[in-house]
Amino acid sequence: MAGKGFTVNKDWDNPKEHAMPAEARVPAEMRIGPVVVTPATVLAPMAGVTDTVFRRFIRHASLFQADKLSSEQVDRLTSRQEAVQIETATTNENSGCGLLMTEFTSADGLARMRETKRQRYLTFYDDEHPIGAQLFGANPETLAEAARIVEETGFDLVDLNLGCPAKRVVGSNGGSGLLRDLPRIEEIFRAVRKAVKIPFTVKFRMGWNDADIICLELARMAEAEGLDAVALHARTREQGYSGQARWEWIARVKQAVKIPVIGNGDIRTPEAAAAMVAETGCDAVMIGRAAPANPWIFRQIAQYTATGSYQRPTVEDRYRMISAYFQMLLDEVEATKDLPRSARLGDPEGRMKQFATWFTHGVVGGAKLRRAIYQSRTGAQVLAQVDAFFAAQLAGSTETDASPEEDGLPEFPEGMPVYD
Ligand SMILES: Cc1cc2nc3c(=O)[nH]c(=O)nc-3n(C[C@H](O)[C@H](O)[C@H](O)COP(=O)(O)O)c2cc1C
Please choose, from the candidates 153, 174, 157, the residue with its C-alpha nearest in 3D space to the C-alpha of residue 165: 174
Coil, helix or strand for 200?
Answer: strand
Active site (annotated) includes residue 164 = yes
Atom of ligand 1 nearest to the CA of 163: 11
The Cα–Cα gap between 29 and 96 comes to 11
Ligand 1: residue of 50, 178, 355, 419 to mutate (most ligand atoms within 8 A of CB) is 419
Pairing state between β 30-32 and 35-37: antiparallel
Contact predicate 260/283, CB 8 Å:
yes
The Cα–Cα gap between 147 and 153 comes to 10
Contact predicate 258/55, CB 8 Å:
no
CB-based burial of residue 277 (10 Å sphere; 0-12 exposed, 13-18 middle, 19+ buried)? buried
What digits encode the pLDDT tens for the residues 176-189?
788 889 999 999 99
Q: What's the average model confidence in pLDDT over 239-251?
A: 93
Q: What's the average model confidence in pLDDT over 370-388?
A: 86
Angstrom distances, CA of residue 178 to CA of 162, 164, 233, 371: 6, 10, 15, 42
Q: How close is the Cα of 214 to the center of ligand 1, in Å?
A: 20
Atom of ligand 1 nearest to the CA of 289: 27
Helix axis angle for 52-61 and 315-335, nearest 10°, is 150
Tell me, rounded to whole angstroms, the distance of Cα 104 from its chain centroid: 12
Q: What's the average model confidence in pLDDT over 273-288?
A: 96
How much is the pLDDT for 316? 83
* Cβ-based neighbour number of residue 318 at 10 Å: 21
What digits encode the pLDDT tens for the residues 9-20?
333 344 444 446
Q: What's the average model confidence in pLDDT over 253-260?
A: 98
* Cβ-based neighbour number of residue 207 at 10 Å: 22
How much is the pLDDT for 12? 39
Q: Is the pLDDT assigned to residue 398 strictly greater than 80?
A: no
- Residue 394 one-letter amino acid: L
Tell me, rounded to whole angstroms, the distance of Cα 155 from its chain centroid: 17
Q: Predicted confidence band at 275 (pLDDT cuts at 50, 70, 90)? A: very high
Binding site membership of 46 for ligand 1 (Cβ less than 6 Å): yes
What digits encode the pLDDT tens for the residues 57-85?
998 877 654 344 444 444 443 444 443 43
How much is the pLDDT for 302? 86
CB-based burial of residue 238 (10 Å sphere; 0-12 exposed, 13-18 middle, 19+ buried)? middle
Query: Which residue's alpha carbon is at the smallest distance from atom 31 of ligand 1?
Result: 289
How much is the pLDDT for 161? 94
Mean pLDDT of the chain: 80
Q: At residue 101, what are phi and psi to the nearest 5 degrees?
A: -130, 145
Ligand 1: residue of 203, 289, 294, 420 to mutate (most ligand atoms within 8 A of CB) is 289
How much is the pLDDT for 305? 86
DSSP string, 219-241: HHHHHHTT--EEEEESS-TTTTT
- Residues 113-128: b if buried by 16+ CB within 10 A, e if exposed: beeebbbbbbbbeebb
Q: Is the pLDDT assigned to residue 4 strictly greater than 50?
A: no
Q: Predicted confidence band at 141 (pLDDT cuts at 50, 70, 90)? A: very high
What digits encode the pLDDT tens for the residues 187-235?
999 999 999 999 999 999 999 999 999 999 999 999 999 999 999 999 9
Binding site membership of 268 for ligand 1 (Cβ less than 6 Å): no
How much is the pLDDT for 63? 66
